[in-house]
Amino acid sequence: MQTLRSKLTHPIFLFLFVTILGYGLLLPYTGFYWDDWPFAWITKFLGPAEFIPAFMPFRPFLGPIFYATTTFIPPIPLYWQIFALIIRFLIGLSAWWTFKQIWPTRPHFALTLALLITVFPGYSQHWVAYTHINQELIPFIFYILSFGFTFKALRAEHPWIYIMIALLLQICGIFPTEYFFGLEGLRLLFLFFDHKGVFIDRIRMTIKIWWPYLLVWILNALWLIGYYRFGAYNSYEVTAANDISSVNIFVEVVDTLWKVCFYVWGQVLVLCSANILAPSSLLTLCLIAVTFTLLMLYFPHLQGQNETRSFALSLIAIGLIGILLGRLPSLAAGLPLRLQSSYDRFMISMMIGGGIFIIGFIELIFQNTRYKTILFISLIALGVGQQFFNANIFRRDWEQQKQIYWQLTWRIPALKPNTVLLTHQMPIDYETDLSFTAPINWMYAPELTPPNLPYALLNTEKRIGSATLPSLEPDTDISFTYRTMNFHGSTSQAVVIYMPSIGCLRVLDPSRGDADIYATLPETLTKAIPISDPSRIITNPDKVATPIFLSHEPAHMWCYYFTKAELAFQTGNFAKVISLESEAIAQGYTPVDQNEWLIFIEAHALIGDLQAAQKRSEQILKDDAKMHRGVCAVWKQIQAKVAGKGGEKTTKIISALKCSN
């Protein structure tokens, strides 16, 4: 038992425990996000080798990393989330080993710092796994290990082999992405503070060891300058350093230091306090408490020694400079550092500096080792809670994504090639229009023929007036490059869809008066309704589109019946529309968005049941007076379609509903 207990208290199990608590509890309920979709789509339809030319204009040294990982891991969300968990665990172990090489006489300090980096709460993008494993986390491991081998070489009898390994790892860490350009300065700081003696001697010894790494750094700088200036790089539409004069450097520096040094460590408490009684907040706070309690059982293995004031000050200096060096690439590009958004991915290069600073700060302020250890355990527990909180955000996003994909295929079983779907921003946080373009082609073009991309989705509020979507005039060309593929369509080959934050996906149709019904929607969307052409929807295809990348079809609730009813209405099968309504109501389903009743009102009227249509209209207006515009727009459509005796009754109903004005 004593042997077993000794093994279970080994730091490897501590890293495994912390990693699973922070990143593994909601792992099965997360999926693909942001650029994950185009990358997964490339793997599925074009093959891993396609990443080499696909990344040539955008960080060409990332291509081989994507090629290596996607060769072995299929584009299945669960597999990539598991891989992300493993990579995160390896980051912790790599950091622990490296810091033991840098500070061999301070093993407890190395362990604490590695744990803080493992759950660093400023970085929320772990679950965008397909993208960030390859783009950031794997190069980050290379760079961390490069530091470790540099210091292993200092203490080795035959150092050159370790120096060569360190240089190779540096190259693998710095060239794939510009995120880590400033990270090299940390090696210089580590070396400087490792040496003793007068200032000039420390500088001399540092440069003597650092110069090979400096050459690689300079080579990378020349590469970045040349490639940004003369290459095809245009990610984020950034031209590096051109707008640096417009950035308020002082404000950005203060904002960065405040967030990384202090705010991120308690951020989860602020987020939970915004809605303290929400299940996600309560679960997060409980997890923080449980993590803290369990880590306290590990207390003897985390408790270190009292550090000297000079050592604490050196940590603070390394941390502050390291944070600013990590911020340098994104700051030079004029990109913001926004927490709880995709922009906090820039925190990856500030993790080490942030962890070192907070430890140095606590070491300087507190002298009691027990109090310090409790504070470090608290920070680790807060980091675990923050990452669980983030995981829940991505879980909800994935659930919403799945609803969108299923509702889209229920409503649009197939599409004519070269169709563009126009919409307003979807009610989710981590997907753009070009992100959605990949799964749409996955669903509607399972037998793709390169290099032509048959479908696209564009957000009107972002694209109108751009090179991709110059205007909404008919026959306006819509063409763009999608990595190594090309889409060609026009505004006369468009279908306008809308997914409200509360409600069901719908196809907007000018012939149904949707421009009037949905006039309160953003103007960038309503202006597109007149060019929407639902005839591009193949209503009865030989092969129905399906989100085959999802495991199972969800239960058929209201949105299933609504989307199927809207499809039946498009085919003129009004009896089926009524049948679907009756079936939904019989099962207790009704809409949250009252606009979804309108199609059933019109269907009742068009089969001659004007009384049922009127009754439903009156009930809607009783429940929500704001529906008056929509109800009246539908009855005007009915009036135009109903003739004879029905027309007279329709006129009376319109008058009764006060729609005649």
Q: What is the arithmetic mean of pLDDT over 154-179? A: 93
Percent of the chain residues topping a pLDDT of 70: 94
| 253 and 240 within one domain | yes
| 470 and 335 within one domain | no
The residues, ordered by sequence, that sit 6+ positions from 383 with a Cβ below 8 Å of its Cβ are 22, 116, 118, 119, 120, 121, 265
Q: What is the arithmetic mean of pLDDT over 476-505? A: 91
Per-residue pLDDT at 467: 86
| 346 and 272 within one domain | yes
Question: Starting at the edge strand that comes first in sequence, how are the strands of the sheet with 452-453 ordered?
Answer: 452-453, 485-490, 477-482
- Indicate whether 541 belongs to any domain: yes
| 595 and 501 within one domain | no
Mean per-residue pLDDT of the chain:
90
Q: What is the arithmetic mean of pLDDT over 383-399? A: 96
Per-residue pLDDT at 248: 79
Backbone angles phi, psi at 187, to 5 degrees: -60, -45
Domain limits for position 333: 14-396
**Which amino acid would we find at residue 349?**
S
Per-residue pLDDT at 644: 61
pTM for this entry: 0.91
- Indicate whether 575 belongs to any domain: yes
Per-residue pLDDT at 234: 47
pLDDT per residue over 168-225, tens digit each? 999 999 999 989 999 999 999 999 998 888 889 899 999 999 999 999 999 999 988 8
| 191 and 173 within one domain | yes
Domain endpoint, select from 496, 531, 554: 554
Secondary structure class of 537 (helix, strand, coil): strand
For 649, which DSSP code? H
Per-residue pLDDT at 239: 41
Q: Is the pLDDT of residue 522 over 80?
A: yes
Distance CA 542, CA 242 (A): 53
| 566 and 547 within one domain | no
**Which amino acid would we find at residue 4?**
L
Domain endpoint, select from 369, 396, 423: 396
Complete DSSP assignment for 178-223: GGGGGGHHHHHHHHHHHS-S-HHHHHHHHHHHHHHHHHHHHHHHHH
Q: What is the arithmetic mean of pLDDT over 539-545? A: 91
pLDDT per residue over 16-58, tens digit each? 999 999 999 999 999 999 999 999 999 999 999 999 998 887 7
Q: What is the arithmetic mean of pLDDT over 453-457? A: 94
**Which amino acid would we find at residue 143?**
Y
- Work out the angle at residue 410's Cα, subtended by the Cα atoms of residues 404 and 411, and round it to the nearest 5 degrees: 90
- Indicate whether 378 belongs to any domain: yes
pLDDT band at 484 (very low <50, low <70, confident <90, very high): confident
Per-residue pLDDT at 415: 96
Highest mean pLDDT among 356-365, 545-554, 643-652: 356-365
Q: Is the pLDDT of residue 243 over 50?
A: no
pLDDT band at 631 (very low <50, low <70, confident <90, very high): confident
Omega before residue 451 within 30° of 0, cis: yes
Per-residue pLDDT at 237: 44
Number of folded domains in the chain?
Answer: 3
Per-residue pLDDT at 650: 83
| 598 and 519 within one domain | no
Q: What is the arithmetic mean of pLDDT over 368-382? A: 92
Q: What is the arithmetic mean of pLDDT over 383-392? A: 97
pLDDT band at 7 (very low <50, low <70, confident <90, very high): low
Domain endpoint, select from 396, 421, 450: 396
Distance CA 206, CA 3 (A): 43
pLDDT per residue over 277-322, tens digit each? 999 999 999 999 999 999 988 766 666 677 788 899 999 999 999 9
Q: Which of 259-263, 442-446, 629-633 has the lowest mean pLDDT?
A: 629-633
- Indicate whether 454 belongs to any domain: yes
Using alpha carbons, list the distances in angstroms from residue 583 to 371, 556, 598, 605.
64, 11, 17, 19
Per-residue pLDDT at 259: 96
Q: Which of 79-83, 195-199, 498-502 has the lowest mean pLDDT?
A: 195-199
Closest CA to 32 of 160, 153, 151, 133: 133
Per-residue pLDDT at 3: 57
CATH number of the domain bearing residue 632: 1.25.40
Distance CA 324, CA 597 (A): 56
- Indicate whether 93 belongs to any domain: yes
pLDDT per residue over 331-349, tens digit each? 887 888 999 888 999 999 9
| 154 and 188 within one domain | yes
Q: Is the pLDDT of residue 226 over 90?
A: no
| 624 and 644 within one domain | yes
| 531 and 659 within one domain | no
- Indicate whether 269 belongs to any domain: yes
| 233 and 304 within one domain | yes
Per-residue pLDDT at 16: 95
More reliable by pLDDT, 576 or 58: 576
Q: Is the pLDDT of residue 231 over 80?
A: no
- Indicate whether 215 belongs to any domain: yes
Q: At what angle do helices 351-365 and 107-118 cross, to 10 degrees?
A: 130
Percent of the chain residues topping a pLDDT of 90: 65
pLDDT band at 427 (very low <50, low <70, confident <90, very high): confident
- Indicate whether 404 belongs to any domain: no
pLDDT per residue over 401-410, tens digit each? 999 999 999 9
| 331 and 228 within one domain | yes
Secondary structure class of 30 (helix, strand, coil): coil
Residues 568, 598 contacting (CB under 8 angstroms): no
